[in-house]
Structure 1
C-alpha cells in the first residue's frame, strides 16, 4: 500500500512586508538540513513571497526535489464559524459572506489536492501558512471545522501527515521544532510561556 508522506511547514519568520527575515532564512536552512535525510520528491509552496523564499532555501538542501507553486497553499481563512467564539470576534469583524465563501472554496481545494492518498509512494513538502497547517491537521483528525481556530504553529515547525488508501490519515508530528535552537523556536506565536 502506497503512503503519501506530507511534511507540512509554515514558512520562515517574515517581516511585516512578507519577506523572510535573517531569522527566517536561518530557520529555513535548518529545516532543509533536517529534510535532506528524507527522500523528498517535491517541495510545493504558496505563491506568497515568504513561502517562495522558504521553498527556495529548502530546494538548496534537496537537489533531487522539484520545487513548484501550488495556489491551494495560499494564506487564507479556511472557515468562519457560524457561532463565533468571543475571543475571535475581533479577528472576524468585518469579514463578509463573500470572503468567507472564497476561503471555504480554497480550503476545499487544499484538502482535495493534498489530503488524500497518492497512487505511488511519495514524500512531499508543503510550505504554507499557519491557518493552512491547522486546516490540514484538523482534516487529518476529522475534527469539527471550527477546531482550526485553536491550533497554531511556529515558523518552520514540522508537521507530518501520512495518507494511505483505506485507512484514516495518520498525524505523525505536529509543530515539531527540534531542528531549531531554542532562540529560533516559537516565532510566529504571540507572547506567552513556552515549554
Structure 2
C-alpha cells in the first residue's frame, strides 16, 4: 500500500471536524425526576426472581401516556396601563384571542385543562378561549404563570430592561416549570392536553428549560400575541417542540 502524507493530513482535519460536532452535554433523562430508575429502590439482582421483581417495579413506575402542553401567549393589551387591572386587552387583542380560540376548537383535541396566569390580560384571553372549547374543561388560575424576569439573558440586550427582580421572579417561574413540565403520571392511561395561557418571557424560558437549552437563551426567541407553542413529553422523558410561536391561524394584521 502506498502512503501519501497529504491523505493523512486530510484525515486529521476530518477528525478535528468531528470533534467540533461532539455535544458538550448529554440528554438528562431524569430532568423531571420521574425516570423509573430513580423511583424504584435499588436492589441486588442476583437471580431471575429478583430480576423479575425489579423489572415489574420499573414497569409500574413507567409512564404510558404522552403529555402535551400547549402554551398560548395572551392577546395585545394596553401597555400604557400603570396597574395590572388597567392592562386589559385592546380591541385587537380580543380579536387575537378569538382567533386562537377558533384554532384550538378546530384542532378538536381532548383538552384536559385550561390554566392561565392571574394577570388581567391572561385572564381575559383565557376566558375568550374557553368560550370556544368544550363546556366541561377544567379552568384554573395560577400566579406562578405570571409575567416576570426568569433569568439574566445572555447575550445581554440594550433593548431589554428588567422591570422585575430576577431573584424574585426567577424561582417562581422555575417553580412553574417544575409544576407543569413533566412526563405523564404512570397511572395515566390516556394522553393529556394541557393549555397554559401565559406570557412571552415565561413561555420562552419554559421552552429553553424543556429542551435542555441554556435557560439564559430565552431572550433570543420571539413570540407573537396568541401564538401557539406546543411541547410534547414522551414516556421515556424525551421532549419535542412540535410548534413554536405558530401564528398561522391569524390574519397578517394581527401580528402586533
- Provide the TM-score with structure 2 as the length reference: 0.66
- Alignment partner for residue 40 of structure 1, among 100, 111, 133? 111
- What is aligned with 1:59? 130
**Contiguous gaps of at least 5 residues in structure 1:** 188-195
Q: 1:127 to 1:86 in 2, by over 3 A?
A: closer
The DSSP-based 3-state class of the residue aligned with 2:182 is coil
- What is aligned with 1:193? none
CA-atom RMSD in angstroms? 1.7
| Cα offset, 1:39, TM superposition | 1.3
For the residues of structure 2 that align with 1:9 and 1:174, how far apart are their CA atoms? 10
The reply to whether residue 69 of structure 1 matches residue 141 of structure 2 is yes
- What is aligned with 2:235? 165
Q: Is the 8 A contact 2:100 2:226 kept in 1?
A: yes
- Provide the TM-score with structure 1 as the length reference: 0.86
For the residues of structure 2 that align with 1:70 and 1:131, how far apart are their CA atoms? 16
Larger proportion of strand: 1
Q: Is the 8 A contact 1:140 1:168 kept in 2?
A: no
| Cα offset, 1:104, TM superposition | 1.8
The DSSP-based 3-state class of the residue aligned with 1:87 is coil
| Cα offset, 1:90, TM superposition | 5.7
For the residues of structure 1 that align with 2:116 and 2:75, how far apart are their CA atoms? 12
For the residues of structure 2 that align with 1:86 and 1:12, how far apart are their CA atoms? 27
The alignment of Structure 1 onto Structure 2 pairs a total of residues equal to: 180
Q: Is the 8 A contact 1:8 1:158 kept in 2?
A: yes
- Alignment partner for residue 245 of structure 2, among 175, 178, 183? 175
Q: 1:27 to 1:72 in 2, by over 3 A?
A: same
- What is aligned with 1:191? none
Q: 1:184 to 1:32 in 2, by over 3 A?
A: same
**Contiguous gaps of at least 5 residues in structure 2:** 1-63, 82-86
Which protein shows a greater Rg? 2
For the residues of structure 1 that align with 2:211 and 2:73, how far apart are their CA atoms? 19
- What is aligned with 2:99? 30
Higher relative CO (Cα under 8 Å, sequence separation at least 6) belongs to 1
Q: 1:160 to 1:86 in 2, by over 3 A?
A: closer
Q: Is the 8 A contact 2:183 2:237 kept in 1?
A: no
The reply to whether residue 115 of structure 1 matches residue 181 of structure 2 is yes
